[in-house]
Structure 1
Amino acid sequence: MGSPPDRTNQTLAAHMTEAGLTPRTLAREINRLFGPGTLAETAPYHWRDAGGIPRPPLPALSAYVISRRLGRIVTAGDLWHGQPDTADGTLVMAASTGLDGPWTLTSTMLVAEDWLLGGLVDRRMFLSVSGTALAQAVNIYLDVHLPADGTMLPAATPDDPLVDQIEASVPRLQLLDDERGGASGLGYVGAQVRAVLLVLRDGGHTDATIRRLLVALADLAQLAGWKAFDAGQQGLAQRYFFTGLRSAHDAGYRSMEGHILADLSFQAASLGDADDGLRLGDAARRVVGRSAASVRASVLSRLAYAQAVAGDVEQCERTWADARDQLAKRHPDRDPEWMYYLTPNHLDCQAGYAMILAGRQIVAGGSGADGRALLRKGGALLRTGAYARPPDAPYQRRALYEGAWLALGYTAHGKLEDACAVTRMALPRLEQVRSPRSTALLVALEQEFRRRKRNQSVADVLPDLEKALAHQPA
């Protein structure tokens, strides 16, 4: 009898080897980026060794992960010859594509043209970037010396009804995000970004009106980026953040520059890219050195999270204390409008879930006593927050996110009854909040509960949690 035919997908195998990925680590990276349970850890062995072709969207997700590791675009068609790159004509491109020009208003308008050409039904899938590519996209902020304060456009301007209307919409959209989550209304906010870009491109504005439009664009792009991040669309989030950075820089809008850099830091750290999180967080801290105390405090809170992800818990606690000290110096009349949400308790809860994350990492690493001490500290901070507020109270997305972290902290500490009680409070929020970032935490909690089904409290709540997650929009 002859030897069986070799069905190995040599192209996929070569790309995985170059990216430093085994089948199991490829599956784990897909699950980390796109949610636990997206893929069985053994599935890529079948793809590589037996010529298996995964069902959509797994080819695109695999290409995404490998591209991120290699720092260049790899398509599904590159990995599975004869297969279409995508079923719907989506173009995959890096979030930083076309953003390597000089930091000038002219370059920003080229970025604007790119958004407008994309249209409202944008068929592009943006690939998030890290490491060198991310550094290149924000290079001006990583230099030792900070840039000048932008173009020095005048701050005062005559009344302009259209600009008035644009500015008035921003706070309302921010409040909607607080209540409904990032996946709710993301397309609408993206349309508002394009609308402002259209007004800018029309031209004929005074310098003062241009500055107002750039400030509004920075506010909206930051909001769109944050919503995309909360919705799990990491590359799109970066694309919006990069656009907001450029418009804020053009307007000399230093506080928003730092705010967006801190968002990028938090995003990187949340994805496990601790080095990027630390570098961006430090840049944000330098940029807001002369901004309002509340802005400095907010930026420090994001840096503290990156420090926790990096395993530097002592520095995380020092930075958190520094953030609280800064907020104590707050002068409300100096606050930007978008800093309405920041309170001492909000800072404490941010530190709380940073400590729970670090504590879980330490427990998993085998240092149970040290990890549990952090879990206790993080849990105590989160219990002062929003997790128990009624479903009709404000800030439901925050309540869902903090509740999910508190439940994960209790589970890691073996306090299963407490974890189940907190989960019960979180479930009704899923009916009104669309926050895949929060849902991913609950999916992780679901998986941990399944391993503890012998506990009666877990057995009682698990079916309700599974049902609630199963009804979440894709």
Structure 2
Amino acid sequence: MKRPNEQLANHLTRAGMSRGELARRIKSKAREWNEPNVSPNVTRIRFWMEGEKPRTPLPDIIADVFSDHFGYRVTTYDLGFGDGTRADAALVYDTSYTATVRAVAELGRADVDRRKLLAAAPFAAVAGVGPSRDWLMNTLDQEPTTGPRVRLEDVTAVKSMFETFQRMDIFQGGGSGRLVLAEYMSQHVYPLLRRTHTEEVRRALCEAAAEQTYLLGWMAYDSGQHGIAQRYLIQSLRLAEESKNAALGAHVLAGMADQATLLGDPQEGRRLAQAGRHGLSKATSPACLADLWCLEARALAKLGDATAASRAVAQSEKAYERVRPEEEQAWAEFIDPAYLHGEHAMTFRDLEDSSAAETHAVRSIEHAHAQKRARRGAMSQAALAVTHLQRHDLDSAHAAGLRTLTLAGQVKSTRAIEAVQDLRRRMQPFGKNRLVADFNERAHALVQAA
């Protein structure tokens, strides 16, 4: 005999939704999940409340509907539907280390298998609230650890692989090697987390796994797969907490902040960046601090606060003055003048301060060219082109746009392609000018090839 689903009924009552309204929201959310055939009615919802369990992926879709409504993550378990799918479980910042290891291992396997459900899982705007709060509170409560760093062969091997894949991402884009890294993590690293024997070894492995999991998330982010990226970042943050490496956790929050701002929620992006900065109070990483200030500036620019954004850029530059690369952790390698000036250029671009934007863009381009970093060069060339458009200098914008196309074609990066598409949109007010037509034709060919 079926038992009434009191948890679902309670959430519906608290939300103040009718069954018809819930059905409409589920249908709308299903379209975001690329599940157009999902179309429940009031009768079907009554059956669920009477104890019938909806078919996959409906439990996850319903959880997303309530999460959006309440502003915090509601899981399938909260709704009385039992454990969620792999996609849903990876959005939970679990207090249990065992559950975290299981969630990240299942996420890796799902990623390798390219399951439809994981690929279709959308970015959940509210999912970062709880993890950033819990990480920050636990980090501030930690006592600094002392003693020599554990140097075991398996940890060293994992870290060496991290450096290899990170450089692949920096120079070739996130679309290069991500699935190979996912396979390596699923087959080698995540199983290691289950086989540690001492607390010191466990922490060292958690740190190495957090670095790699973050990189998987960042590569997915750079490839435009934001739902997958978000899940990796949340689990990376949890592993970073286990490692007691506060700087690494702050670094993960920087990635989450960047993603939130990019996807249209700069207020959340700013909050995540601030949480990361507060968590650095017991850790030393000027590079990470510079990055967090930089990303807060990006969010503030989107919010239209020019004064606060300019102040944050200045704080970022001040923090970077204290950076000693040899003292920073491996994951901070990309936080350098090419990256920071490129991000500052986009901050001032968004503020329509073309002079400041041009200054930073040119500096970024110079550093990126010297390092042969095509992705960063493409994004900064695009920012430079926009500064010329803001001054109505179409000739210079066209020249910078062509350089953007050349560089974007050298990497597998959705962000580089998006920079090209953004430039196409910004050229539209110039009408049918021959330079606009030429750029559009070349850009179309690049986008189609990508």
TM-score tier after normalising by the smaller chain length = 0.7 to 0.9
Pick the aligned partner of 2:358 from 379, 384, 397: 379
1:178 alignment counterpart = 170
Paired residues for 1:199-348 under 5 Å: 199-201=192-194, 203-289=195-281, 290-344=283-337, 346-348=339-341
Question: Per the alignment, do residues 15 and 352 of structure 1 end up closer, same or farther by CA in structure 2, a change over 3 Å counting?
Answer: farther
> May I ask how many residue pairs the two structures share in their alignment?
387
**Residue 268 of structure 1: how far off its partner (Å):** 0.4
Offset, 1:247: 1.0
2:290 alignment partner AA: A
Contact 1:262/1:302 (CA < 8 Å) preserved in 2? yes
In the alignment, is the contact (CA less than 8 A) between 1:416 and 1:457 conserved in 2? yes
Preserved CA contact (<8 Å) 1:387 1:403? no
Q: CA separation of 1:420/1:16 partners in 2, compared to 1, >3 Å: closer, same or farther?
A: farther
Alignment counterpart, residue 127 of structure 1, candidates 122, 125, 129: 122
Q: Deviation at 1:397?
A: 1.0
Displacement of 1:277 in angstroms is 0.7
Give SS of 2:383's match.
helix
Moved more, 430-439 or 111-120: 111-120
Q: Is the 8 A contact 1:149 1:254 kept in 2?
A: no
* Residue pair 1:388, 1:425 contacting (<8 A) in 2 also: no
Alignment of 1:441-452 (within 5 A): 441-452=419-430
**SS of equivalent to 2:289:** helix
| Aligned residue number for residue 71 of structure 1 | 67
Give CA-to-partner distance per residue, 1:133-190, whole Å, 9 cap, x none: 321233314559824259x697543642x33322211111111101111122121222
CA deviations over 1:54-81 (Å, ceiling 9, x no partner): xxxxxxxxxx9999676369xxxxxxxx
Structure 2 unaligned blocks of 5 or more: 1-19, 37-59, 70-84
Q: Give deviations 1:357-384, integer Å, cap 9, x for gaps.
A: 232xxxxxxxxxxxxxx12321222122
Specify which of 399, 424, 438 is matched with residue 402 of structure 2.
424
Counterpart mapping for 1:46-85 below 5 A: 71=67
Any residues of structure 2 matched to 1:93-172 within 5 Å, and which? 93-94=87-88, 96-97=90-91, 99-102=92-95, 104-115=96-107, 118=110, 120-123=112-115, 124-125=118-119, 126-131=121-126, 133-141=127-135, 143=137, 146-148=140-142, 156-157=149-150, 159-160=152-153, 162-172=154-164
The 8 Å contact of residues 387 and 426 in structure 1, kept in 2 or not, is answered as no
SS at match of 2:202: helix
Structure 1: distance between partners of 2:185 and 2:423: 35
Q: Is the 8 A contact 2:90 2:103 kept in 1?
A: no
Within 1, Cα distance between the matches of 2:212 and 2:405? Answer: 30
Deviation string 1:332-381 (CA, Å, 9 cap, x unpaired) is 4431122223334542331111111232xxxxxxxxxxxxxx12321222
C-alpha separation in 1, matches of 2:122 and 2:136: 22
Separation of aligned partners in 2, 1:305 and 1:258: 17
Q: 8 Å contact 2:405–2:420 — kept in the other structure?
A: no
Partners of 1:443 and 1:387 in 2: CA distance: 23
Q: State the partner residue of 1:40.
A: none
Matched, 1:457 2:435: yes
Residue 451 of structure 1, CA deviation:
4.8
Task: Please state how far the C-alpha of 1:96 moved relative to its aligned partner.
Answer: 4.9
Task: Give the residue type in structure 2 aligned to 1:295.
Answer: C
Q: In the aligned structure 2, how far is the partner of 1:449 from the partner of 1:387?
A: 25
The one-letter code matched in structure 2 to 1:164 is T
Aligned 8 A contact 2:273 2:296 in 1: yes
Distance of aligned partners of 1:92 and 1:381 in 2 relative to their CA distance in 1, 3 Å threshold: same
RMSD: 3.5
* Partners of 2:108 and 2:183 within 8 A in 1: no
Structure 1 residue runs of 4 or more that deviate by more than 4 Å after TM superposition: 13-19, 64-70, 91-96, 142-145, 152-155, 387-390
Amino acid at match of 2:327: R
Q: 2:386 is matched with which residue: 402, 405, 408?
A: 408
Change (3 A) 1:72 1:193: farther
1:13-37 deviation digits (Å, cap 9, x = unpaired): 9679759x9xxxx9xx98xx99xxx
The alpha carbon displacement at 1:431 in A equals 2.9
2:124 partner amino acid: V
Deviation digits for residues 383-421 of structure 1, max 9, x if unmatched? Answer: 22227966x952111111112222233334422111110
Distance in 2 of aligned mates of 1:350 and 1:375: 14
| Partner AA of 1:279 in structure 2 | R
Distance 2:216 2:62 in 1: 26
Q: d(CA) in 2 for partners of 1:354 and 1:335?
A: 25
Q: Which amino acid aligns with 1:285?
A: R
CA distance in 2, matches of 1:405, 1:67: 39
- Inter-CA distance 94–445: structure 2 relative to 1 (3 Å threshold): farther
- What per-residue deviation string (whole Å, max 9, x for no partner) do you get for residues 198-252 of structure 1? 1222x15333332221111111111111111111111111111111111111011
Hey, what's the Cα distance between the residues in 2 that align with 1:351 and 1:297? 11
Does residue 187 of structure 2 align to residue 197 of structure 1?
no
Residues 450 and 462, structure 1, Cα contact 8 Å, conserved in 2:
no
- Secondary structure at the residue paired with 1:314? helix
Secondary structure (helix, strand or coil) at the match of 2:214 reads helix
Taking the aligned partners of 1:404 and 1:67, their CA distance within structure 2 comes to 39
- Structure 2 residue 440 is matched with structure 1 residue 470: no
